[in-house]
């Protein structure tokens, strides 16, 4: 994990729909901090700053330095509830984390060494089965992405989790099989291309007798 983001929070004493609506009118969003063997703490956060971090797409894989009225907490967002119509944030769940905390997280997949893949060189198509992979890792060291090696992959080959470069201490949640992340498939020939190829074959076949008869005509 390369960096953190920061949010300032305030304690809230009460819960419930009425309290949540009141907070949202004030430009704040209700949230809770739990885990590490401690009692959950009800908090509220500034809606604008929370929305910015959520829309950056990194909240579930990046730690947050949470300033709760002057007291520092290191937390990781585990759930964000959105309004079904407006998509506004309605609630956030944060997990307290320590160097001992291990959690499953979904991490994006990044494919490398396209130029060393015979299948890609033959204009094969990389058919991605999993754009993200669920990994078990330390909450303090979540990888931003994992690199999956395409070197040597030919048409029809499957790209497996064993082709991924996993950081030390990081393991896939699915541990009982070498599952597929992508495949390299042959390029599809469209109807127009197919018809053009057949027409070319027909022209070549028609031209062959004419070419064979040409020398006889010259002798007359």
Strands (E), the chain: 5-11, 28-35, 38-46, 64-68, 71-82, 89-96, 102-112, 125-128, 132-138, 146-149, 158-160, 164-165, 171-172, 180-185
What pLDDT is stored for residue 207 in this prediction? 52
Q: Is the pLDDT of residue 42 over 90?
A: yes
What pLDDT is stored for residue 191 in this prediction? 58
More confident residue, 185 or 22: 185
10-14, 83-87, 143-147: range with lowest mean pLDDT: 10-14
Q: Which tens digit of pLDDT belongs to each residue from 172-201?
A: 999 999 999 999 999 886 655 555 555 555
Q: Is the pLDDT of residue 75 over 90?
A: yes
DSSP 167: P
94-103, 120-129, 188-197: range with lowest mean pLDDT: 188-197
pTM over 0.75: no
Q: Is the pLDDT of residue 217 over 50?
A: no
Domains and CATH numbers, the chain: 5-97 (2.40.240.10), 103-185 (2.170.120.20)
- pLDDT-based confidence at residue 202 (cuts at 50, 70, 90): low
């Amino acid at each position: 994990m390369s960096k953190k983001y920061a949010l300032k929070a305030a304690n809230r004493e009460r819960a419930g729909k009425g309290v949540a609506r009141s907070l949202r009118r004030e430009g704040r969003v209700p949230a809770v901090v739990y885990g590490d063997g401690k009692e959950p703490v009800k908090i509220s956060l500034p809606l604008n700053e929370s929305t910015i971090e959520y829309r950056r797409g990194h909240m579930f894989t990046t730690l947050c330095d949470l300033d709760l009225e002057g007291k520092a907490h290191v937390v990781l967002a585990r759930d964000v509830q959105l309004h079904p119509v407006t998509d506004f944030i309605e609630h956030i769940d944060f997990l307290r984390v320590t160097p001992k905390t291990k959690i499953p997280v979904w991490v994006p997949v990044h494919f490398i060494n396209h130029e060393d893949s015979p299948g890609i060189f033959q204009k094969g198509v990389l058919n991605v089965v999993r754009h993200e992979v669920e990994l078990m890792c330390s909450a303090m060291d979540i990888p931003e992405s994992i690199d999956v090696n395409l070197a040597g992959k030919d048409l029809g080959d499957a790209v497996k989790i064993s082709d991924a470069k996993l950081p030390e201490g990081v393991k896939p949640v699915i541990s009982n099989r070498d599952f597929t992340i992508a495949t390299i498939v042959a390029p599809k020939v469209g109807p127009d291309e197919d018809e053009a190829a057949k027409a070319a074959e027909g022209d070549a076949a028609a031209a062959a007798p004419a070419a064979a008869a040409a020398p006889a005509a010259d002798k007359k």
